[in-house]
Amino acid sequence: MTVGDWLASTRRRLGPVAGGQAEREARLILGEVTGWSAARVATAGPEALSSGQVQAAETMVRRRLAREPMAQILGQWGFFGRKFRVTRDTLVPRPDTETLIEHALAAPFSRMIDLGTGSGAIAVTLLAERPEAEGLATDISPAALEVAAGNAARHGVEGRLRLLEADWWAGVEGRFDLVVSNPPYVTEAEYAALAPEITRWEPRGALTPGGDGLAAYRAILAGIDAHLRPGGRCLVEIGAGQGAAVAALFRGAGLDAVAVHPDINGKPRVVEGAMPNGHARA
């Protein structure tokens, strides 16, 4: 079978589950089993695939047809120009979250904390982009922290990132000039309507706190006065329709310069606020 024939057949088979991403996913599978670059996959149409390559690719296609997400099949996923290992214990890094990274990098910081780090993609990316900074990343899941540790080592920031098993601020000491989080924010009703690639393969607790989806923001902001330095910033990812509610929570916690930032699709995605300079803590 030639590459072109395999890609055409696989694109058709993946269409019902992958939609407009079928071609891309077929190419990702082919690149994984051959070790070829994306450029070579794109130009290798007449080349023949070995029977071993076809069999290996077919195994991955069957997994995808069973609604396993590509990130889990490949075992890693790209985020902000780097590859991160993912497992069923972590969320898959998504392009929307890069909005948080961009705004976090818009001002200097020396000590940051990532609450609910999961794969560590946010914390590792921020430290990789700012080699003079150090950070702390927390998660309630030991399995997720193990993944984060591996990603920190993979990208050379393990010496500047401390990992802590914690429920939000529990056990966290000291103050930070940057607080970031992509917390669970999907409402109970919204979770029931999510695709099987999400509900079957990603940890429920990292996606939804139940109820109105705002519980995690309340927990984060409950500790912000004790842990965010004057002049420091807090940035969180939000879900659809949550911008006004989360911005109000930020203001209620005493933060100013509160802003809601859109993602690459123009949808509200990140709420940012700052601790007033000269703020006096009890």
Annotated domain spans of the chain: 3-66, 76-274
Model confidence pLDDT, tens digit, residues 32-49:
999 999 999 999 989 999
Instruction: Give the C-alpha separation, 88 to 199, whole Å.
Output: 11
Encode pLDDT of 258-273 as tens digits: 999 999 899 999 999 9
How far apart are alpha carbons 260 and 265 in whole angstroms? 14
CA angle 127, 128, 130 (to 5 degrees): 60
Count how many Cα atoms sit within 13 Å of the Cα of residue 145 in the half-sphere of its side chain. 17
Distance between CA 201 and CA 67 in Å, rounded?
A: 9
CA distances from 211 to 187, 193, 208, 252, 270 (A): 6, 15, 8, 20, 20
Do residues 193 and 235 lie in contact, with contact meaning Cβ atoms separated by under 8 Å?
no
Looking at residue 49, its pLDDT comes to 95
- Band (pLDDT 50/70/90 cuts) for residue 85 is very high
Q: What pLDDT, on the 0 to 100 scale, is given for residue 277?
A: 86
Q: What is the pLDDT of residue 279?
A: 58
pLDDT tens-digit profile of 164-210?
999 999 999 999 999 999 999 999 889 989 999 999 999 999 999 98
Give pLDDT tens digits for 105-163.
999 999 999 999 999 999 999 999 999 999 999 999 999 999 999 999 999 999 999 99
Strand pairing class (134-139; 161-165): parallel
User: Sign of torsion, CA 257 232 217 269?
Assistant: positive
Q: Band the pLDDT of 282: cuts 50, 70, 90.
A: very low
Query: What tokens appear for 139 in the block?
Result: 């998660």
- Spatial strand order of the sheet with 176-181 comes to 161-165, 134-139, 111-115, 176-181, 228-237, 268-274, 256-262
**Please, are residues 60 and 189 in contact by the beta-carbon 8 Å criterion?**
no
CATH of region 76-274, choose from 3.40.50.150, 3.10.20.30, 3.30.160.160, 3.30.565.10: 3.40.50.150
Q: What is the 3-state secondary structure (H, E, C) of 164-212?
A: EECCCCCCCCCCEEEEEECCCCCCHHHHHCCCHHHHCCCCHHHHCCCCC
